[in-house]
Amino acid sequence: MEERSVTIDGVTHAVEEPFQVLATMNPLDHQGTYALPAAQIDRFMMMLEIGYPSPDDEVKVLDYHLGATSPLATLQPVISRASFIDWRETVPLIHVAPEIKRTAVDYVHGLRRSSDGPSISPRATLAWVRAAQARAMLSGREFVTVEDLLQIAPDVLRHRMWSDGAAVRERLRAIAMSGAR
């Protein structure tokens, strides 16, 4: 991931921008599935829980995929490559006030103190604030709020804490209430 390249049959190929790694996680009880080390999991910025479709939506999935034409044949981009790169370059320009930075760090330190599991890395703190910048940008603001941090926290922290989104929110709430931020 870090090298932004892929090696196939001993030949290394640079991956064109924008480079992203998206992965799915199978349950560990599936044959041939092994847990990634925490250091590798930490390199993923977010873990999104999508869940299962409703029965009506699942029927639509069947209709779509069982048709005569491949669903990939009609796939259309929702954003251009250039626009995506522009967005990515705009996110770091979203202002993060010193108080917001301190709040993020204080929350992470509180989570570290209250955790009996793996510790949350400085990379996680950076990913959390960067994701809050992206949320602010997509909300049409030029600055990050505490609400941005709290809303994005489960997606950025749950896989680092080996927890679910509700537990992440509850632990952040407990830290805030205890003044341990």
Looking at residue 120, which CATH number applies to its domain?
1.10.8.80
Judge whether 149 lies within some domain: yes
Interval 10-20 mean pLDDT: 89
pLDDT of 175 reads 74
Q: Which tens digits make up the pLDDT trace of 43-99? A: 888 888 888 999 999 999 999 889 888 888 888 999 999 999 999 999 999 999 999
Query: What is the pLDDT at residue 114?
Result: 77
Tell me if 171 is assigned to some domain: yes
Q: Provide the domain count of the chain.
A: 1
Q: Is the residue at 99 inside a domain?
A: yes
Q: Name the token pair of 116.
A: 């009996």
The residue among 61, 42, 55, 64 whose CA lies nearest residue 119 is: 42
C-alpha to C-alpha distance for 24 and 85, rounded to whole angstroms:
24
Percent of the chain with pLDDT over 90: 48
Q: Residue 7 forms beta bridges with which residues?
A: 12
Angle, CA of 51, 166 and 143, to the nearest 5°: 95
Structural domain of 160: 87-178
On the question of pLDDT at 7 being above 80, the answer is yes
**pLDDT tens, 109-132?**
988 887 666 678 999 999 999 999
What pLDDT is stored for residue 181 in this prediction?
44
How far is residue 161's CA from residue 124's CA, in Å, rounded to a whole number?
10
